[in-house]
Amino acid sequence: MRVKLFDCAARHPAAAPDSPPAIRGLSIAVESGEQVAVIGPSGAGKTTALHVLACALKPTAGRIELGDRDPWQLSSRELRTLRGSLFLAAQVPPLPPRQRVVTAVLAGRLPSLSLWQSVRSLFYPMGMSLAADALARFDLADKLFDRVDRLSGGERQRVGLARGLVTSAELLLVDEPLSALDPTRSEQAISALTDGARERRATLIATLHQVETALKHFPRIIGLRDGALAFDLPSNQVTPALLHELYAQKLHELTAPSLPTPNFADNAAAPAPPVVMYCR
């Protein structure tokens, strides 16, 4: 699905009416099938931007296009249909604690099921093999029939990501998918997510604090700071100097000992010395 923002501004629903917008003047375009990582310091507006793209938050200024349609110009029925082609994975997945993992994963298919099929699936899950395959990608195959409240925080987060692999959504919006995972699990999870999206030719936009992971796994990086676009570049053009400028007010969030592997040798200017860049 093609995505476009035109000079968008938006604020959190709980924010005071006179508070500054969380994002402002934001214009981006993402082509169908692209994979993009959004980085920036805490409070940069990353989550708000995802909620705007998910049609969960209406812009206070500017406009949005999803697949060449402005969702806020559609009828209520058309908007519900459009939302069914989107998938938003929250940082903390809203998984009912007493639900079985298989049911939680297959909830990703609900927009494509009829009412009867949805109700039936609560008692007799339809597509268990899909759920099992998705969980196996995140090393959770043995958790298929466990209850959600028996899982650790990291396991719950991976179940939420597995849900994204069974959905038929054309646009996957993932908010901080690695926040509860150790480095090994993070590498496995982001690989499963990007591979799954690529196989389905779905558009993937993920917010990440882990800059090193973003540069390694995503061909395009969008940097946000103070709710505005700081840069929009191929990952191999994101230099240490750009990252220092992006995180200038919150350098303590950069904790990795060195830069990842992208080659900056083709840049006209000599690269700056390696800097810390792995964000909490």
Supply 67's token pair: 């697949």
Q: Are 138 and 188 in contact (CB under 8 A)?
A: yes
When pLDDT is cut at 50, 70 and 90, the band that residue 254 belongs to is low
Q: Does the domain at residues 1-85+169-186+199-280 carry the CATH identifier 3.30.70.980?
A: no
Q: Which fold has domain 87-168?
A: Rossmann fold (3.40.50)
Vertex 222 angle, CA 50 and 264, to 5°:
155
What span, in angstroms and rounded, lies between the C-alpha atoms of 216 and 21? 31
The region, left, alpha or beta by phi > 0 then psi within -120 to 50, assigned to residue 164 is alpha
What span, in angstroms and rounded, lies between the C-alpha atoms of 67 and 75? 16
Cα–Cα distances in Å, from 80 out to 32, 53, 107, 181, 199?
Answer: 21, 14, 16, 33, 26
Q: Which residues pair with 232 in a beta bridge?
A: 222
pLDDT digits over 125-154, tens only?
777 899 999 999 999 999 999 999 999 999
pLDDT value at position 126?
A: 76
Q: Cβ-count burial of 76 within 10 angstroms (0-12 exposed, 13-18 middle, 19+ buried)? A: exposed
pLDDT value at position 213?
A: 94
pLDDT digits over 29-64, tens only?
999 999 999 999 998 999 999 999 999 999 999 999
What span, in angstroms and rounded, lies between the C-alpha atoms of 217 and 153? 23
Mean pLDDT rounded to a whole number for the chain: 87
Count of CB atoms situated within 10 Å of the CB of 195: 13
What span, in angstroms and rounded, lies between the C-alpha atoms of 88 and 163? 10
What span, in angstroms and rounded, lies between the C-alpha atoms of 66 and 18? 29
Residue with tokens 């940097």: 223
Which one-letter DSSP state was computed for residue 132? H
pLDDT value at position 274?
A: 46
When pLDDT is cut at 50, 70 and 90, the band that residue 113 belongs to is low
pLDDT value at position 271?
A: 45
Beta carbons within 8 Å of 134's beta carbon, 6+ residues apart:
105, 162, 163, 165, 166, 196
Cα–Cα distances in Å, from 248 out to 173, 190, 194, 214, 231?
Answer: 27, 27, 29, 19, 14
Residues of the chain within CATH 3.40.50.300 domain(s) are 1-85+169-186+199-280, 87-168
255-258 long-range Cβ contacts below 8 angstroms, 24+ apart: 255/279, 255/280, 256/211, 256/212
